[in-house]
Structure 1
Amino acid sequence: MHAIHGGHSVSLDRKSVEKVIQKLDGLSKFSGVSQLQRSHPYLPDITRDTKEHLHQILDKIDKTCDLSNNQYLNVTVKNLLKMTTQCTEMVKKQGREARRNLTKLSLIFSHILCELRALYPGGRFQGHSYRITKLEASKFWTQAFGTKCLVKWEEFRDKLHAVHPIGEGPLESALHSTMDLTCNDYISVFEFDIFSRLFQPWESLLQNWMLLAVTHPGYMAFLTYDEVKDLLQGHINKPGSYIFRLSCTHLGQWAIGYVTPGGNILQTIPHNKSLYDALKEGEREGLYLYPNGLSCNPDLSQLTNPNPNTLIHVTQEQWELYSDMDSTFELCKICADNEKNTRLQPCGHLLCDMCLTKWQKSDNTCPFCRTKITGREEVHIATRSQQTSSPPNNTEQPDNDNIASNVCGAFSQSVVNEDEADWIRNRPLPAPPEAPSITAHHPSTRALPSVPADHSLPSTSRVASVSWAARSSMPTQRRVLRVQDVLSRTRRT
């Protein structure tokens, strides 16, 4: 395979990558160019970080390795050669249009860097095992493309059309433009993950995209933080005016800019909720009333998720497993008070909403497996009586065969149970009788690690409790202690 630059075929080898690094290095020195906005994404910073990541990749690849066999690296190097050339030419130009084009190029470079980091974490290729956040989207990609991390737009379009019909002409071009964040005529597993997160749920993916990105006047593509402020400045006398865009600092999430009743311009990223929920909530609060200053706010009621609570079915064996350990499946294993009602994405672990909210104040990884949390969804654990009836179509059942083939984040209830069972089996013993003052016991928390609820206690008491409880020195125990410690701190604050 070859990269193409300036109409000529360039065989991808280390020298080709080093040439791209050299060009990126040149762009990283354009800090004094007046056309470049100094807010994120700032082109000199982005190109410097991209250059350093490519260095990491080269350092991890054997010097005798044939780089032309890696399709993703071929396509990305070709794209970077094209983008660096465009940037170099655009910097020489003056005027508003040149400034806007440079800003868009900065965003594209930012997207390329995010994709490189996702598929080459630490400089090592992991594109074949990238985990898509949404279960249905993950299943679609795996069934359509296997472990590929990159496919041509035409191939992707045909496969998607089979499950979500795509219109022709301008509509197809608009979808291509929305999904192809790196502008290389390919769709990567990373770009698909971003798209499926932004326009969830899967059942109405393209309908959601149509309502939010095609017909909604508040949607703005390839816009930066500063450009949102400049645009809304024109509606400063109309509080409730708003626009929304893809966040360039948190890909896969939305950023909403709006004019406050006091005439200020604020921007926010709604966490743990869909754009529909965020816009409806903002409308009720009088914050998001006029999309781009227009008086008519679109009706988004069609975006209501038809299945807001996924029903989790549990096998008889799983009920008995937790019963034997003096626990229950439906009880949150962090607080042991509330029922599980939230499923983390992409790992699929379950806990209660209250514990997740407190946990995320200090950490955004799953407390069970340490996977980065990219989303959440409400779930409901089926009761024992519900187990005897046939589960409805929107339920998910444990799939033991899926453990070995848990590719790209496909959810397996059995995996969740094993982690939780490990959590319970290896929990630290309760505090020793001779020091009852360091633990405030509660009937519902007797099986959990003993940590002081009040951090005003002397530090020696805290150390004694932890060191005694960690006698078996299991990694799971240390995780439990850390989770409880974080939660107790957030309760105090």
Structure 2
Amino acid sequence: MHALHGRHSGNLDRKTMEKLIQGLDGLSRLNGVPHLQRSHPYLPDIARDTKEHLRQILDKTSDLSQNPYLQVTVNSLLAKTAQCSEMVNKEGTMARRNLTKLSLIFSHILCELRALFPGGRFQGNSYRITKLEASKFWGQMFGARCFVRWEEFRDGLHSVHPIGDGPLESALRTTIDLTCNDYISVFEFDIFSRLFQPWETLLQNWMLLAVTHPGYMAFLTYDEVKDLLKGQIHKPGSYIFRLSCTHLGQWAIGYVTSGGSILQTIPHNKSLHDALREGEREGLYLYPNGLSSNPDLSALTDAAPNTVIQVTQEQWELYSDMDSTFQTCKICTDNEKNTRLQPCGHLLCDTCLNAWQKSDNTCPFCRTKITGREEVHIAALSDVEQTKNPPSTTVQPDHDNAASNVWGACANNVVDDEEVDWIRNRPLPPPPDSHSTSPHHLAIRVLPRAPTDSPPSTFRGSLIPGGSRPAIPTRRPMLQAQDILSRNPNTLPPTLPRRI
């Protein structure tokens, strides 16, 4: 699979791109080939989507030769397209398995292209890694580059997470290099750090979950999981897990139910070891790949302490001016913030987040898609302590105090800017209605933009009972918990204004 051996030849030009697009067009016409499974990843569909995305990139990139990532990826795709063309004419189980694996690799490449070239425009150097500690590591080691050779990545990772030699290094390389081109992209590293979180025990987690755990299956599809578990149909609690094909960065767990059926599920907002331990307690995941012994994952359960965030003097003063505190959840104004969203880093309480995600999976402050959550603790100091010793934001455990302080401050500046903007401009709760207080009867009315000389207390929008004429308040009332938590789950969430 590693056809390039870490090298790319020549400069990329439009002729080479057109050649690749033509080859992918041929793969997209392979309907009816018996080796190809119909479920995802279905090679003809992936080849068609990849071809269309490359066409977008071609249309929006003036000088292809100036993007080394694209050169490597195009050369890799050319080699793999030729492999697929040869494989479809071969017979036997091995040919079918190899073609399925190639389909998965093509799917990973397409996901990476979409992540680094959204809409066809290159944004790889500004790609946001989900886990803050992983993002900090990549920035310190590789700067703004969106991909590095495996050898350089290995040496960088080894400096913080020692890697063994020989087969262990080869296994790690196979796990991370999803596109099989001898390079590690920022996207692939993001996927790996999400799969094997937390960061503090990243390689320990990988060892226990992907190297020694009998339930782990690499490069397997939905249909293959079903076929494999059919052999354990008479042993309820048998299970295996794999990387999700449709939601990269998440796990898919297949298991045999007590009724003898086979189900597959994707655990959300939790690590794999937490999901496996919960499933074990519930009697769902008992026998990995049918084996009687279930590995003990207790060493991973509490491996990483909660991230501790200290309130800075600037934050304390800013929120005091708004009659609030930094540590208070700005949605319910009752609970303390204890959850940090990924990748945007905004903070709120888990109760509000759980209610919010019943109908929306974007951050309520900035509308970034939520890819994960992290439990945090806000360490508030007394007024006297804040006055005498204004603290800097820290992340614990603190392996590098200076770097952690810089990163923490940057993360909280993002939180301050958009959260404060959200507080000052959010929709307001309606006055009590004697006829009905049900959220079903609330309508959103957008007010005209306020004149430039309007006082800061003027708001641009308001929640209006029954769509009646809005009134602009003279002071800022707090958005109450029930405005979010008790809204009709069958309706869309209220639209929150965004900074323009």
Q: Give TM class, smaller chain.
A: 0.7 to 0.9
1:69-468 matched pairs, under 5 angstroms:
69-385=66-382, 394=396, 412-428=411-427, 431=430, 436-437=433-434, 453-456=438-441, 462=465, 464-465=467-468, 468=470
CA contact under 8 A between 1:196 and 1:202: conserved in structure 2?
Answer: yes
In 1, the alpha carbon distance for the partners of 2:396 and 2:421 equals 29
In 2, the alpha carbon distance for the partners of 1:285 and 1:418 equals 43
CA contact under 8 A between 2:233 and 2:256: conserved in structure 1?
Answer: yes
CA contact under 8 A between 2:352 and 2:484: conserved in structure 1?
Answer: no
CA contact under 8 A between 1:362 and 1:486: conserved in structure 2?
Answer: no
Compared CA separation, residues 392 and 184, structure 1 to 2 (3 A): closer
In 2, the alpha carbon distance for the partners of 1:491 and 1:394 equals 40
Corresponding residue SS for 1:234: helix
In 1, the alpha carbon distance for the partners of 2:402 and 2:369 equals 24
In 2, the alpha carbon distance for the partners of 1:458 and 1:359 equals 18
Measured after TM superposition, the shift of residue 51 of structure 1 is 0.3
Compared CA separation, residues 310 and 48, structure 1 to 2 (3 A): same
> Unmatched 5+ residue regions in structure 1?
441-452
**Structure 2 counterpart of 1:256, one-letter code:** I
Corresponding residue SS for 1:490: coil
Measured after TM superposition, the shift of residue 469 of structure 1 is 5.7
**Structure 2 counterpart of 1:109, one-letter code:** F
Range with bigger deviation, 329-338 or 84-93: 329-338
**Structure 2 counterpart of 1:47, one-letter code:** A
Is 1:47 aligned to residue 47 of structure 2?
A: yes
State how many pairs are aligned.
460
Equivalent position of 1:21 in the other structure: 21
In 2, the alpha carbon distance for the partners of 1:458 and 1:392 equals 42
Measured after TM superposition, the shift of residue 419 of structure 1 is 1.8
Compared CA separation, residues 180 and 34, structure 1 to 2 (3 A): same
CA contact under 8 A between 2:198 and 2:304: conserved in structure 1?
Answer: no
Measured after TM superposition, the shift of residue 320 of structure 1 is 2.9
In 1, the alpha carbon distance for the partners of 2:402 and 2:435 equals 42
CA contact under 8 A between 1:243 and 1:291: conserved in structure 2?
Answer: yes
**Structure 1 counterpart of 2:470, one-letter code:** W
In 1, the alpha carbon distance for the partners of 2:350 and 2:335 equals 9
CA contact under 8 A between 1:400 and 1:412: conserved in structure 2?
Answer: no
Measured after TM superposition, the shift of residue 307 of structure 1 is 3.3
Aligned residues: percent identity? 72
Cα deviation digits, residues 201-256 of structure 1 (max 9, x gap): 11111111111000000000000000000000000011110000000100000100
In 1, the alpha carbon distance for the partners of 2:167 and 2:194 equals 23
In 2, the alpha carbon distance for the partners of 1:470 and 1:212 equals 56
Corresponding residue SS for 2:76: helix
In 2, the alpha carbon distance for the partners of 1:146 and 1:35 equals 43
Corresponding residue SS for 1:245: strand
TM-score (norm 2): 0.84
In 1, the alpha carbon distance for the partners of 2:194 and 2:128 equals 12
Compared CA separation, residues 486 and 69, structure 1 to 2 (3 A): farther
Equivalent position of 2:453 in the other structure: none
Compared CA separation, residues 20 and 280, structure 1 to 2 (3 A): same
CA contact under 8 A between 2:4 and 2:181: conserved in structure 1?
Answer: no
Cα deviation digits, residues 385-443 of structure 1 (max 9, x gap): 496798987168xx99999x98xx995112212222222222455646xx744785xxx
CA contact under 8 A between 2:430 and 2:465: conserved in structure 1?
Answer: no
Equivalent position of 2:495 in the other structure: none
In 2, the alpha carbon distance for the partners of 1:459 and 1:294 equals 56
Corresponding residue SS for 2:264: strand
CA contact under 8 A between 2:65 and 2:71: conserved in structure 1?
Answer: yes
Cα deviation digits, residues 25-62 of structure 1 (max 9, x gap): 00000011011000000000000000000011011122
Corresponding residue SS for 2:159: helix
**Structure 2 counterpart of 1:418, one-letter code:** D
Equivalent position of 1:445 in the other structure: none
CA RMSD, aligned part only? 3.3
TM-score (norm 1): 0.86
In 1, the alpha carbon distance for the partners of 2:46 and 2:472 equals 44
CA contact under 8 A between 2:280 and 2:286: conserved in structure 1?
Answer: yes
In 1, the alpha carbon distance for the partners of 2:185 and 2:227 equals 32
In 1, the alpha carbon distance for the partners of 2:49 and 2:157 equals 33
In 2, the alpha carbon distance for the partners of 1:383 and 1:8 equals 52
When you count helix as a share of all residues, which structure comes out higher?
Answer: 1
